[in-house]
Copies of this chain bind each other. A is one copy, B any other.
Amino acid sequence: MTDTATRYTRQDFQTDQEVRWCPGCGDYTLLATVQNFMASLDIDKEKIVFVSGIGCAARFPYYMETYGMHSIHGRAPAVASGVVVANPELSVWVVTGDGDALSIGGNHLIHAMRRNVNIKVLLFNNQIYGLTKGQYSPTSEAGKTTKSSPMGSIDYPFNPVSLALGAEATFVGRTIDMDRDHMTTMLQAMNDHHGASFLEIYQNCNVFNDKAFLDLTGRDERDHNRIYLEHGKPVLFGPDHGNGVVVEGGNARVATVADVGVDSIHVHNATDLDPGPAFALSRLSHGPYGPTPLGIFRHVSRETYGDLVSAQLVESREQKGAGDLAQLIRQTGTWTVD
Q: Which residues of A contact B (CB under 8 A)?
A: 103-107, 110-111, 114-116, 138, 151-152, 154-159, 162-168, 247-252, 266, 272, 274-281, 283, 302, 305, 308-309, 312, 315-316
Q: Which chain B residues lie closer than 8 Å to A167 at the CB level?
A: 158, 163, 166
With A157-B114, A312-B151 as contacts: A272 and B251 at CB distance below 8 Å: yes
Closest Cβ of chain B to A301, distance in Å, is 12
In contact, A156 and B249 (Cβ under 8 angstroms): no
Whether A115 contacts B166 in the complex (CB less than 8 A), given A249-B266, A252-B250, comes out as: no
Among A107, A154, A247, A276, the one with the most B-chain Cβ atoms within 10 Å of its Cβ is A276
Q: A115-B155, A252-B276 are in contact. List 12 more A-B contacts (CB 8 A).
A: A105-B107, A106-B107, A114-B157, A114-B158, A151-B312, A155-B305, A156-B305, A250-B281, A251-B276, A274-B283, A279-B279, A280-B280
A151 lies within 8 A of B315 (CB): yes
Instruction: List the B side residues contacting A166 at CB < 8 Å.
Output: 162-167, 279
Contact check, A106 vs B110: say whether CB atoms are below 8 A apart: yes
Provide the bound-state CA to CA distance between A249 and B276, in Å: 8
Contact B276 A154 (CB under 8 A): no
Residues in B with CB closer than 8 Å to A162 are 165-166, 168, 275
- In Å, the complex CA distance between A248 and B251 comes to 10
Residues of B within 8 A of A250 (CB): 247, 250, 252, 266, 274, 276-281
- Complex Cα–Cα for A250 and B279 (A): 8
Distance of A167 Cα from B164 Cα, bound (Å): 9
The verdict on A154 contacting B279 (CB below 8 Å), with A106-B107, A138-B111, A166-B163 known, is no
Q: How far is B106's CA from A110's CA once the two chains are assembled, in angstroms? A: 8
Task: Give 22 A-B contacts (CB < 8 Å), ordered by A residue.
Answer: A103-B111, A106-B107, A110-B110, A114-B138, A115-B154, A151-B315, A155-B305, A156-B168, A156-B302, A159-B168, A162-B165, A163-B166, A166-B166, A249-B277, A249-B280, A250-B277, A250-B281, A251-B277, A252-B274, A252-B276, A279-B279, A279-B280
CA distance A167 to B110 in the complex (A): 11
The listed residue (B105, B154, B316) touching A151 by CB distance below 8 A is B316
